Each structure stands twice: as structure tokens, then as C-alpha cells.
A and B are shown apart, each in its own frame.
Chain A
Amino acid sequence: MSKIGIIIKREFLTRVKKRSFLIMTFLGPLLFLGFIAATFYISQAESKVYKVLLTDREAMFGKVLFKDEFKDSKFVKFYHQESPMTDDQFKASEYDIKIDLERDLTITSAVNLYYKTYPSFKIQDHIESQLTKNFQKLNLLKHDVTLELYDLLKTKISLHPIDIDKTGTTVVPTEVGYSVGLMLSVIIFMFIMMYGQQIMRGVMEEKSSRIVEVIVSSVKPFSLMMGKIIGVALVGLTQFIMWILLSSFLFFIAGMFLPDVFSDPSALMEQQMTPEMQNAITSELGANPNDMAKDIYSFIHQVNFPFIIGMFIFYFLGGYFLFGSLYAAIGAAVDSETDSQQFMIPIMLPLTLGYIIAIAGIENPESNVMYWGSIIPLTSPIVMMVKVGSMGMGFQPIDWSLIITSMVLLIGAFILSVWVASKIYRAGILFHGKKVGYKDLWKWLRHG
């Protein structure tokens, strides 16, 4: 095995054998699963069906035959009566909620809800939406507007951006594409931060324990630095792959016990959405649920997975090596973690900026900021992912000239940063005692 191979092996093994790594690797997916399960159970937490009594003294609803239009839900059941009910009667009754409908409701747009036990927001939401819907209809009839006309008035126009070169390809909103891209950006951002810090700590440990002098008498400082960066990258990738495998396994197991949520996430979605929300989504997409499923199926077929995965791996590694080598240089320059703070700004600034540009990019993906953000190497690993998401899903044509420019610049920047870092690293690891400033780094760079 080559010497750099021996270093990579040690860096990898000492980290994956650590208790904290094992705990995080195995606990991560469990925590994630636990979070989903908790959300599911909290949403299922309504243990009772609320009986809601609507008293309609003036027979507003009875007259106009909307009595049956109040739709029950799994946890809400509506009852009507025209005679009002006193508070004492309500307390003695089987009803959980009482609402007195009055004529002035049309003016105040507010109504009192009397309860025995406080209803959850989900229950309140359902009641509120049913009241709103029926009052709207009541008002329509008052003004001689037919329901047909009302439905016509409600027509909402939604935009379906279609690339002129790829007509007839997409029905899913482009935001989905950008969101997937943003998720990839976030993964890269987190990975660089978490594992960059690990590189820095590793270098600092070797420097402060003074073992570094023995090691650089056997291998070149450059090999030691690269061995560490690559070793830590493998640790990150291992953890990442383990999370994906374990999560899939856990979801599979969980799916057998909780088929509702884990095998069909839409079940969860349905439960959390009022019929209005579901209608809105259906109308927004301009299709009924069956068509939508078909569309999603064809949409998945349209996703260019090799492109997205390939780009992700490239920018993931490019960004990691670019910043990882700088983290290594900082670790070599300082004696303690507190001294490292002053040097973190030049790393954190472009990373955070890239993240902000990526988020803003969802609103305006074709902006100049997005363009330059995807070109400039310090932000490109993060910003480019948003564009890659949209290109890979066919919302935008693949802009090879942009991609190649960005990739070439990233490779160039990565080589430059490794070169700069190795000079600072070589001088820094054997430098002790004095607190190092930017001036010293510059000196090491010039004379190193």
C-alpha cells in the first residue's frame, strides 16, 4: 500500500471506530424515523369525534337547503337545530361544541364557538372552512348568483412554464425541481461544514501533540494533508450511505407495521389537508388525482437521474476538496480552536452566501446572481445544485456551456486552494508558540 493509502486507512478507521460515529450512524436514521412516526402519531392524536351543534334560530340554512352541505370529517360531525340552546342545556347535552348562527354573522364575519374541551386547530380549521364555504353560498343566493356562475368566477389561472425546445414534457410545478436542487445544496453545505471541521481538528491534534514532526519525516506534508482530507471524505460518504441504507431498511420495516404513512405518504398528506386544500392543489395542477398520479409517473421517467447524480458527486467532491484543504490549512496555522475563529470567516462567508443565493434562486432561477453564483467556484458547489435540479428534471435545458465553465473553474480553484493550503500547512504544522495572523499566512505563502 502506498504511504498516502496507509494514511487514508488510518484516518478512516480511527474515525469510523469511534463511539460517536457509530452512535450517529445508527441513531441518525432512528431519530429521523422517530420524527416521522411522532408526526404521524401527533396527527392521529384526535381520540374523539367532536359533535358540533349548529343552532340556526332564523333558519337561514334550513331555508336555503344548505343544511346538508356541512361536510363531516373523520373527527367532526355536524348537527343542526333551529331552536337555540341555553348554556346549561349545552352542558347537559351530548354535544361537544355549540355554535349559534345569527343574521349579523354576515356583517361581523365572526361567530362564537362554545366548547367543553378545547378542540385542536385541525378541528377548528375544519369547522371554520365549512362555515365559510356555506356562508359564501348563502350570500351568493342572496344576490341571485347561481352556483355555476360562482364556480366560473372562482376560476384560477395557473402557469405551466414549458420550454419551447421541450414542449409537452412537464406538468409538475418547476418549484419541485428547484426544491430538489436546494435539498442537494443543503446536503453539500452541511457536509462541507461538518467534515471540514473534522479535518481542521485532526490537523490541530497532530500539531499540538507534536507527532506531526515524526510523520513528516516519513511522508511529504502534502501526502499527510491529502491523506487526511480523503480519509475524512470517505468517513462522510460512509455515514451518508449508511444513513440511506438504514433509513430505507427502517422505512421498509416500519411500512409493514404502519402501512398508512410509510408506504403511502399521501395518506398522511390527506389527513393533514382540508378538502379545500386538496381541491386547490387539484385545480392548481389542472388535473384530477388520477391524472396527477399518471403525470408524476411520467415525470419520474423524465428525470435525468445520471445527470443529477453525476453532477451532485462532482460538485460534492469539488466543494469538499476546495474548502477541506482550506480547513486543513487553518488547522495547521493555529495552536488551539479559539485561535481558528479569525480564519473561519473567509470560509463561512462564501458558503453562507452560496446558501442564500441558492434559496433566493428558487424565486428567480434565471437571475444574474444565480448565474454568477454557479460560475464562481467558492459558491458554485452550492448554487449550481439548484440549477442542476431544474435541468435534470427537464424544466430547463441542460446548459452545457455554463456547466463546463463552472466545472473547469471549480477544478482550477480546487487545485489552487490545495496548493495554497499545502504551503500554509507545511510551514504551519511546525510553527508553535506565537499567535498566527493573516500576515504570517501571507509570509508562509510567499516563502513556503
Chain B
Amino acid sequence: MLKAENITKFYQEYKALDGVNIHVPPQSIFGLLGPNGAGKTTLIRIINQIIMQDKGTIHLDGKILKREDVEMIGYLPEERGLYKKMKVGEQAIYLAQLKGMNKAEAKRRLIQWMEKFEIESWWNKKVEDLSKGMAQKIQFITTVIHEPKLLILDEPFSGFDPINANLIKNEILKLRDEGSTVMLSTHNMKSVEEICDNISLINKGKVILSGTVNEVKTKHKENIFEIQFYGPVIGFANSLWAGFQLIKHHTNEDKITIAIVKLLNDNSLNDLLKNVLDSVKIISVKEVIPTMDDLFIKLVNEKEMVHE
């Protein structure tokens, strides 16, 4: 659906993006991740043709992105904004018209969306009379009203309470299921795990990680296992020889100990189990897969250290 190749962008001497490649498959939710100042907004603005890249090409649906293609994109910027003195209905129709819709069709769809969110009574309200969360809902509607093929959402959940964040999350999933492709930029790693199919992690203008959520997590697992057992912790620790590392352990009120063990060298889980079977009674074993949060922090910090 969307392919950005070798995108480079300078702000005067500062290199904001350095040969960025991303690939967003059709009908999927793509997470664009990265710390503040990594270049996410710059990349999003380039895709929206608000600014121009210095190098590289962007393909949408296999064709080089053209000016008219903005009508196929719906964009929700991180810094939300609406005309404060304009009425809700009038404003949403105006923004839809700028995306190439005719007035009657825009009105029809707006009514549908307002009914769906049960906010029909807001039609003649001025935006300045709405609360922040209410304005956010309107802004979300104006982003999706023209049924864009590609939705670009910058921090879509910020400013929403958990109920409304959930509402928006479900709408995003529904839009994907109905055929839209969604690209979202967020710091909320929990939501990334919940809804993203693919991700790219950008740091300092470069892509440092990309793939499906499962792929990247599996790729970055470190042979760490969580073992739950009854029995003496000392016996358990003694039975581990140089091939294993006991990272941490904790015994709960039910006398169950939860130990985190890292396999060293070429040792397998079977080797570990063989070693400890005689000393303790094992209840469960599972591999520890890194969370997106862990990965984010680990990778960004690694990069920092390399730079330093």
C-alpha cells in the first residue's frame, strides 16, 4: 500500500531523516515508533505532502505519490486543532470538501458518524464550547469522513479517557477490517501490541527495527525462561552450573518460587530442566518474550550508547 524508500530530509544542516525505508502492507495497522525528535512527524508530513523530502521516493498503491493522492489520505496530527469560532457541522463539512468530497455526501456521512458516536446535538455548537475530549472526537470524524484508503494517525489516543480511547481503538480496527490501511505513530506501546500488525522503530532519523510485532519480539528474545517451582531456592541455584544465569527469583505466599533464568552458551531448555529436576518440583515453564516497551527502551538506549 505505502512504500517509502530511502527518504532523506534536511532542515538546513540538520539531518532529520536519513535514508528511511518503510513498508506498510495494505489493510493492516502499521505502528511508527520512536522517541521524541526521532523524525516520525517529519516522515508523516512528507507522506502527507506538507513538506517535501530531499531524497527518496514514496509509492502509494504501487504508483509514485502525487499531489491529488492527498484525497486518499486521512491525517490526524498530534497537535489537534479546529477553528474555534466555527460550528461543528459546518467545520466538518468544510474539511471534507477540502478532501474532495461534495457537500451533500459530506453531510450524509457526517450525520452517520455523529449518530454512531451519539453526538448529533453538537452539530450547531461552536468548537470553543466543546471540551477537549469532545473536540478530539470531532477531529477523529473529520479525519475519517472521506473514507480514506490510508489513515495516518499521530498519537490517536492522547487526550481520550479510557472509555473513549477504547471506542477509537475499536473504530480503527473496524476501519482496517473494512479495507483501510492505518499508520499510527504513538508512544503507547501497550496499544501497539494490541492493534499493530507491523511496526518500524525510528531513532535519530534512521529505522532501527521493523517487521511484524511477533517477528520483532521473537527476534529479540534472549533465551530467558520463567520457571515456577516448589522447593528450596538454594538447591535450585546450586544445581545451575556455569551454563545458566539466575537473573532473579521471588517466592510468594504459596511457597511457589518464580525464577528467571537465562540460558548461556548453547544450552537448551531441556539441559536446564535436566539440571534442576532433582532439586525442585517444577510447576510451569515459559519463555520470556520481550514486551514492546522493553524493546523500545533497550534499542533506543543501545543506539544512544553506540552514539556516545
Chain A residues at the B interface, C-beta cutoff of 8 Å? 1, 3, 6-7, 10, 14, 205-206, 209-221, 430, 432, 443, 447
B95–A213 CB distance below 8 A: no
Chain A residue at minimum C-beta to C-beta distance from B47:
A217
* A216 to B84 alpha-carbon distance, docked (Å): 18
Q: Give 8 A-B contacts (CB < 8 Å), ordered by A residue.
A: A3-B97, A14-B83, A205-B84, A211-B81, A214-B139, A214-B142, A218-B95, A432-B79
Of A3, A6, A209, A214, the residue contacting B75 (CB under 8 A) is A214
| Given A218-B98, A218-B99; A213-B50 close (CB under 8 Å) | yes
B6 at the interface (CB under 8 A from A): no
Chain A residue at minimum C-beta to C-beta distance from B81:
A210
A210–B70 CB distance below 8 A: no
A209–B12 CB distance below 8 A: no
B94–A210 CB distance below 8 A: no
* A105 to B243 alpha-carbon distance, docked (Å): 132
B77–A214 CB distance below 8 A: yes
A209–B82 CB distance below 8 A: yes
Q: Which 9 A-B pairs have the closest CB atoms?
A: A210-B81, A211-B81, A218-B98, A217-B48, A210-B79, A213-B77, A217-B75, A209-B81, A6-B97
CB distance from B128 to the nearest CB of A (A): 10
Per-residue CB proximity of B47-87 to A under 8 Å, as 1/0? 01111000000000000000100110101010111111110
A216–B81 CB distance below 8 A: no
A14–B12 CB distance below 8 A: no
| Given A214-B142, A217-B73; A3-B98 close (CB under 8 Å) | yes
A210–B85 CB distance below 8 A: no
Of A205, A209, A218, the residue contacting B70 (CB under 8 A) is A218
Inter-chain CB contacts under 8 Å: number: 62
Q: Which DSSP category, helix, strand, loop or mixed, fits chain A's interface? A: helix
| Given A6-B97, A218-B95; A211-B82 close (CB under 8 Å) | yes
Provide the residues of chain A in CB contact with B94, threshold 8 Å. Answer: 6, 10
Per-residue CB proximity of B126-159 to A under 8 Å, as 1/0? 0000000000000100100000000000000000
Query: Which residues of B, 159-186, contact A by the 8 Å Cβ criterion?
Result: none
Provide the residues of chain B in CB contact with A10, threshold 8 Å. Answer: 94
Provide the residues of chain A in CB contact with B49, threshold 8 Å. Answer: 217
Among A1, A218, A220, A432, the one with the most B-chain Cβ atoms within 10 Å of its Cβ is A218
A212–B81 CB distance below 8 A: yes
B77–A210 CB distance below 8 A: yes
Of A3, A14, A214, the residue contacting B81 (CB under 8 A) is A214
